[in-house]
Structure 1
Amino acid sequence: MTPPLRFPRPLRPGDRIGVTSPSAGASGAAAERVGFSVEWLRGRGYDVVVGECMDGTGLTSAPAGERAAELTRMLADPDIACVVPPWGGETAIDLVDLLDWDVLVAADPTWLVGYSDLSTVLVPITTRLGWATIHGDNLADTPYAVPDGLLHWLDLAGGPGPFVQRDSGLVTDWVRFETDPTATEWTHVGTRAWEVLGGGTLDVSGRLIGGCTETIANLAGTPYGDVRAWAETLDEPTLVYVEACEENAVNICRYLHALRLAGWFDRAAAVLVGKTYAPDHPDLTQREAVADALGRLDLPIVMDLEIGYVPPHLPLVNGALGRVVVDGDRREITQTLA
């Protein structure tokens, strides 16, 4: 039986934030950026502690057992209020069955924040423990200024809401670490607005759950990605969000079909899809991939939210009650942490 939803206590200046790398670590200019981001948080009053699993010279920051042990320790430590990785990586799936779930069940919930490969951990922390988690900036992105309409993940971790975020209309990019490891302003690239696939308007509510398509699809059908069972314990429908990193449209189509077949959308009121730089296939665009895999669900699909690899970032709380409205010039999402 999935436990009831539990929201970590609000994060406040003075609280301790743990930094560890459940997937990839940091080296070179990337390590400089991580160091700057740690000091950025300290400058805002947070007590930041950096773990041992941070090596960026290989695929992962440490062996899977060591990464799982450090993440378990930080999440279960009552003196740590939040855990954030430097960024994602490739193979966080190798530690999900090595986390000490018995220890975590007995612990008070702690905020876990990130995106990309960290989706592999965020989803089971929410669906297996009932802890709310934040799909938002990793540590290296945390110092970037938040554009009008959006909120920082620190804002969402800091209280119960309701938190209202509106379509920023922006497409931006990172400043490369090698160019400036201390950058705090996104590079403006263009504009793009949320829209309902196929046209129309919507006003829907549900519990949020989702993440990076390329990583969460590998959890589908396992005890660590049983969103269908989790959704069946809720009093509300779900709002499932997905976003693509770099796979071409055919592979994204396959992954979305896998999530559909695993029941991820069985109790969904809508699907939210992030902007992406992932390539099209000669015979299939990314938009067509979404329509092919999810169009048969007869659910509204909202395209081009700021929830993935195209910054700026709109943080979402897995487990929060969300309401999404797209109607003319009104394009917003409201999240309540209760």
Structure 2
Amino acid sequence: MSGLRFPRPLRPGDTIAVTAPSSGVQRSMRPRLEVAVRDLERRGYVVRMGECMDGTSHVSAPKQERAAELTAMLLDPDIAAVVPPWGGELAIDLLDLLDFDALADAEATWLVGYSDTSTIMVPLTLRSGWATLHGANLMDSLYAAPDGLAHWTEVAAATAPFTQRSPGRFRTARHGDYVGNPELDTYELDAVGGWSVLGGGDVEVSGRLIGGCTETLGAISGTQYADVAAFGREHADEGIVVYVEACDFGAYDVARILHGFRLAGWFEHANAVFVGRPMAPDSDGFSQADAAADALGDLGIPVILDVDCGHVAPFLPLVNGARAEISVTDGIGEVTQSFEGTEAPL
């Protein structure tokens, strides 16, 4: 990869395409999907629905069809952003079907999402040089961003550095009731908690962002599709900030994956590590925080825990490839992201 390219700012009137590179949408969730589409239209966007959306199996369509539709959307100059309904389980089966060289030669398009979508976004950044947006999936897009955070459409529209900060509250439930209340648009942030620094203290640090879902990226961390070590070397002058977040795996499994990232060189040029607030369970008295400490605690760089990125709402949008300036003071975390070639305010 040579350099980074940021998609043009998202604007009202732009087309946002929807496809499911991994899991589709089952019948009971279709009302939520329809409401989410209408919400984007209300925000001023044109929504183009793909064919790969079926939810009767673990994937939305055969892998060749999913890869072809995603590629066509990303290469279409009339499409400004692609956002899946959510993640899934097997986006990994698309990686050897995507033409990263052709994408590298094309104008960058926003790819938005988290969870299994990380399996595609990180390779797209590392192999094709496209900045990608780790934030809410389409089914979560209805939620109004709480104070301190931005909606992903605002981030994709940014034309100058922008700052977000931890809201200090989070949701303990995994999902809202999208079946019983498909129009749900307000977070129930029922628990209190800010960011913390492993070992204590406050932090100020900066670097280029790269990261995503621990479980899905663990499967590709030692491959050409997730060569974060090379990304770190490319940006060694400013350093990188690696962010990771776990969905379902127990703490022992997460510790093993984080050690794998370390062995693959992910942290050789890291200035800090973000660890998302975990939804994943502890293991026999060994907590998710213990997993981070075991694998990352002696790196000699700040490890920032309980960041609002990943599977625990609310969602802090982070852009792979963006330069980030980060501070944590008395549990209040703040991150300012900047894109190359931007001029006007968010």
TM-score (norm 1): 0.98
Q: 2:196, 2:331 within 8 Å by CA — same for their partners in 1? A: no
Structure 1 residues 96-111: aligned runs within 5 Å: 96-111=95-110
Contact 1:69 1:100 in 2 (8 A): no
Contact 2:32/2:179 (8 A) holds in 1 = no
Pairwise CA RMSD of aligned residues?
1.0
Q: In structure 2, what is the equivalent of residue 291 of structure 1?
A: 293
Q: 1:250 aligns with which of 215, 235, 252?
A: 252
Q: CA deviation at 1:121?
A: 0.4
Query: Conserved in 1, the CA contact under 8 Å of 2:195 and 2:331?
Result: no
In structure 2, how many angstroms separate the alpha carbons of the residues matched to 1:331 and 1:114?
A: 22
Partner of 1:56: 55
Query: 1-side partners of 2:331 and 2:316: how far apart?
Result: 18
In structure 2, distance between residues paired with 1:160 and 1:126: 19
2:283 counterpart of 1:281: yes
Out of 275, 285, 310, which is 2:312 matched to? 310
Matched, 1:236 2:238: yes
* Cα distance in 2 between the residues matched to 1:32 and 1:60: 19
Using a 3 Å threshold, how does the CA distance of structure 1 residues 329 and 105 change in structure 2: closer, same or farther?
closer
3-state secondary structure, aligned to 1:134: strand
After TM superposition, the structure 1 stretch with the greater mean CA deviation from structure 2, 84-93 or 94-103, is: 94-103
Q: Where do residues 36-115 of structure 1 align in structure 2 (5 Å cutoff)?
A: 36-115=35-114
Show the 5 A alignment for 1:140-151.
Answer: 140-151=139-150
* 1:144 aligned partner, one-letter code: Y
Does residue 1:207 correspond to 2:208, yes or no? yes
Question: Deviations 1:79-136 (Å, cap 9, x if unpaired)?
Answer: 0000000000001000011012232122100000000000000100101111100000
Kept after mapping to 2: 8 A contact 1:275/1:307: yes
- Separation in structure 1 between the aligned mates of residue 297 and residue 280 of structure 2, nearest angstrom: 20
Q: Percent identity?
A: 53
| Structure 1 match to 2:128 | 129
Tell me which moved more, 205-214 or 290-299: 290-299
Paired with 2:39 and 2:209, the residues of 1 have a C-alpha distance of: 29
User: How much has 1:35 moved relative to structure 2?
Assistant: 1.3
Q: Contact 1:205/1:239 (CA < 8 Å) preserved in 2? A: yes
Distance 2:184 2:330 in 1: 35
SS of the counterpart of 2:291?
helix
Aligned residues: 337
Q: Which runs of 4+ in 1 moved over 3 A?
A: none
Give the unaligned 5+ runs of structure 2: 341-346
Provide the rounded CA distance (Å) in 1 between the counterparts of 2:331 and 2:297: 25
Question: What's the CA shift for 1:70?
Answer: 0.5
Q: In structure 2, what residue type is equivalent to 1:243?
A: E
Separation of aligned partners in 1, 2:35 and 2:102: 32
Q: CA deviation at 1:329?
A: 6.2
Structure-2 change in CA distance of 1:330 and 1:188 (3 Å):
closer
Secondary structure of the corresponding residue to residue 211 of structure 1? strand
**Deviates further, 152-161 or 243-252:** 152-161
Shift of 1:161: 2.5
Instruction: Give distance in 2, aligned partners of 1:253 and 1:68.
Output: 31
**1:21/1:61 contact within 8 Å kept:** yes
CA deviation digits over 1:261-302, x for unaligned, max 9? 001111100000111121100141111000001112111111
- Is 1:119–1:215's contact at 8 Å kept on the other side of the alignment? yes
2:246–2:311: 8 Å Cα contact kept in structure 1?
Answer: yes
Contact 1:228 1:263 in 2 (8 A): yes
